């Protein structure tokens, strides 16, 4: 056995795996950037039927070329309470179908014979993409270049892996060793182990394809290695689930049980076929003669599609099972605050994470408005029954301010974001700060209310009426400002600007009214000081709300 040949082949194989993994990452990140808006719309529909969930999972994975990213994102959605376990299961089913696209692309690249192979033709896209990335002036052109370069590098890596396999195939010792590994269970375990190590079922399937084409292993061995890769691919989801909440752990377990169930079903079916001297390999050789790469790629698609068809009606049972395995835990509701719509799992799919950041900011705005209402109620009624709830939500606003900004910093550094998403994220720092400041001004008003109560004084009926009118204007401003921010609606922004000017005029009128009441002896100077501070704080709240609405102007690209 030639040691030099073995070492060279192993190094070539390692090089091919590295190039292939980088290519997958390049394609995934650039495809996400190119289709970010469509991805957001796609996953926003994730609350529909199970069949819709399967379609979303399949299309999403095919679009970004990463079942791991889709699964981790789904775990993030479940952890945030956006989708149910049942819906998450259906999306994971679809992701398993979508991931077979890579194997089909790789199989296509293995044709050629005496002519120029399709793999060499596709590899040339790496150069074309590189030139486009370097010389394109627009970000869309650079993104397209990244997609083409990643696509081409996919086949460069494949060529390296195939070349190493051809070298191995020339060594009788290696062929004899591999031929001796015929036990299906051992092959499944090897496929699972290798996939778990490199965390990419696409690479494992591609290596199996190269081994089959070069004759290192037969089609049945390739099939069992591919079955094992489906189990090994669960590692990414399991890691993501471990670090998240109960439902996230359940989602990771659903992924593992689903993939293992499919492998067990097909292993049992293989044993049944064995009684008739029939194997999966012999069946697919008849269906696709003289094309071993197509045989294995088509089996991969067949396996995942049939598994989904079997498991889809059993989703309810699967969900009930994982709930028994991982039961609910008693949670102290008032000890910890959490971000509801985002977690670090979503960093795997940046464009979708951006849309979830917006949902978190809208949630923050809602909490801030509730505290504004509570503060004005305390100021006018001197009823402090909601003070503890107010203080809790003020702490929650501070928590969201701190944690959401930290998340946005991490998200801003992620690859795969379009220019509009990056522009949006750059404005979120101020948006979050604006909303946190609204909470601070509400806290000031509560302090004025406490001071009034301690002094045994209160606002006059006229002052209370003006505060009620001010509250209505703030609500009207809030509705239009948030409509503008959420929907990038410039007509709502125009309405919000008009209302903000009304609030400016109204607060000036409050000062004039207060002076008139003092001259009549209706209000005392000490009460008036609290009243003027209240109107000033309310006017500043309006300024911060309009700042959030105006941030959409930067998104006009």
d(CA 161, CA 376): 69
Rg (CA), the chain: 31
Q: What angle do CA 537, 538, 540 make, to 5 degrees?
A: 65
**What is the token pair recorded at 31?**
């495809």
pLDDT class of 403 with cuts at 50, 70, 90: very high
Quote the percentage of the chain above a pLDDT of 70.
84
pLDDT class of 175 with cuts at 50, 70, 90: low
Q: What is the pLDDT of residues 35-79, one digit of tens each?
A: 555 655 666 565 556 788 888 888 877 766 667 767 777 776 776
pLDDT class of 384 with cuts at 50, 70, 90: very high
pTM (2 d.p.): 0.67
CB 443 within 8 A of CB 367: no
**What is the token pair recorded at 270?**
């293989």
Question: Which range, of 199-208, 330-339, 348-357, 376-385, averages the lowest pLDDT?
Answer: 330-339
Distance of CA 23 to the CA centre of its chain: 21
pLDDT for 318: 92
Which tops the pLDDT comparison, 20 or 218? 218
Neighbours of 138 (CB within 10 A): 9
Distance of CA 407 to the CA centre of its chain: 13
Tell me which residue of 11, 7, 96 sits closest to 53, measured CA to CA: 96
d(CA 211, CA 14): 15
Which tops the pLDDT comparison, 549 or 195? 549
CB 529 within 8 A of CB 460: no
* Mean of the per-residue pLDDT values of the chain: 83
DSSP class of residue 553?
G
Q: What is the pLDDT of residues 442-461, one digit of tens each?
A: 999 999 899 888 888 888 88
Residue ranges in 414-489 assigned as alpha helix (H)? 419-455, 461-487
d(CA 382, CA 476): 24
- What are the structural domains, with CATH classification, of the chain? 3-325 (no CATH), 346-555 (1.20.58.220)
Arithmetic mean of pLDDT, 188-209: 83
CA torsion angle 241 244 248 250 (round to 10): 70
d(CA 391, CA 367): 12
> Angle of helix 201-213 relative to helix 100-108, nearest 10 degrees?
30
pLDDT for 357: 92
Neighbours of 493 (CB within 10 A): 20
Arithmetic mean of pLDDT, 154-167: 74
Residue 377 pLDDT > 90: yes
CB 387 within 8 A of CB 357: no
pLDDT class of 546 with cuts at 50, 70, 90: very high
CA distances from 447 to 293, 394, 453 (A): 74, 13, 10
pLDDT class of 332 with cuts at 50, 70, 90: very low
């Amino acid at each position: 056995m030639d040691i030099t040949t073995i070492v060279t082949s192993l190094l070539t194989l390692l090089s091919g795996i590295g190039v292939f993994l980088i290519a997958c990452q390049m394609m995934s990140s650039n495809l996400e950037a190119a289709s970010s808006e469509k991805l957001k719309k796609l996953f926003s529909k994730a609350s529909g039927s199970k069949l819709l969930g399967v379609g979303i999972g399949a299309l999403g994975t095919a679009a970004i070329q990463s079942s791991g990213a889709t699964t981790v994102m789904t775990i993030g959605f479940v952890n945030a309470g956006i989708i149910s376990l049942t819906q998450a299961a259906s999306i994971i089913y679809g992701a398993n179908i979508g991931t077979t696209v890579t194997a089909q692309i790789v199989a296509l690249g293995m044709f050629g014979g005496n002519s120029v192979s399709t793999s060499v033709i596709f590899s040339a896209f790496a150069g074309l993409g590189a030139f486009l990335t370097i010389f394109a002036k627009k970000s869309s052109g650079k993104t397209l270049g990244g997609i083409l370069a990643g696509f081409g590098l996919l086949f460069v890596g494949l060529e390296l892996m195939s070349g190493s396999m051809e070298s191995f195939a020339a060594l009788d010792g290696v062929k004899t060793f591999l031929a001796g590994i015929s036990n299906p269970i051992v092959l499944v375990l090897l496929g699972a182990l290798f996939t778990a190590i490199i965390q990419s079922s696409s690479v494992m399937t591609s290596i199996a394809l190269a081994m089959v084409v070069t004759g290192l292993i037969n089609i049945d061995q390739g099939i069992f290695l591919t079955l094992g890769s489906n189990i090994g691919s669960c590692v990414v989801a399991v890691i993501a689930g471990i670090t998240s909440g109960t439902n996230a752990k359940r989602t990771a377990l659903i992924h593992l049980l689903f993939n293992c169930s499919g492998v067990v079903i097909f292993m049992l079916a293989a044993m049944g076929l064995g009684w008739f001297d029939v194997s999966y390999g012999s069946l697919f050789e008849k269906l696709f003669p003289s094309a071993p790469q197509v045989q294995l790629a088509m089996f991969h698609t067949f396996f995942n599609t049939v598994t989904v068809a079997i498991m889809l009606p059993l989703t309810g049972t699967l969900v009930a099972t994982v709930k028994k395995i991982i039961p609910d835990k008693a949670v102290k509701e008032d000890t910890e605050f959490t971000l509801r719509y985002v977690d670090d799992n979503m960093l795997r799919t940046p464009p979708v994470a951006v849309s979830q950041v917006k949902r978190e900011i809208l949630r923050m705005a809602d909490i801030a408005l509730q505290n504004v209402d509570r503060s004005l109620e305390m100021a006018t009624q001197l009823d402090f029954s909601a003070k503890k709830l107010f203080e809790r939500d003020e702490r929650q606003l501070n928590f969201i301010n701190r944690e959401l900004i930290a998340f946005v910093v991490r998200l801003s550094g992620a690859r795969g974001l379009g220019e509009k998403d990056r522009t949006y994220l750059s404005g979120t720092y101020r948006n979050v700060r604006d909303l946190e400041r609204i909470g601070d001004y509400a806290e000031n008003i509560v302090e004025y209310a406490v001071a009034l109560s301690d002094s045994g004084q209160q606002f006059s009926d006229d002052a209370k009426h003006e505060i009620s009118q001010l509250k209505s204007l703030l609500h009207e401003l809030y509705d239009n400002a948030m409509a503008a921010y959420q929907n990038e609606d410039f007509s709502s922004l125009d309405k919000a600007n008009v209302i903000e000017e009304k609030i400016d005029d109204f607060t000036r009128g409050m000062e004039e009214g207060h002076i008139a009441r003092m001259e009549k002896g209706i209000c005392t100077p000490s009460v008036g000081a609290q009243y003027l501070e209240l109107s000033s704080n309310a006017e500043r709240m309006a300024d911060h709300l309009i700042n959030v609405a105006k941030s959409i102007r930067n998104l006009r690209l």
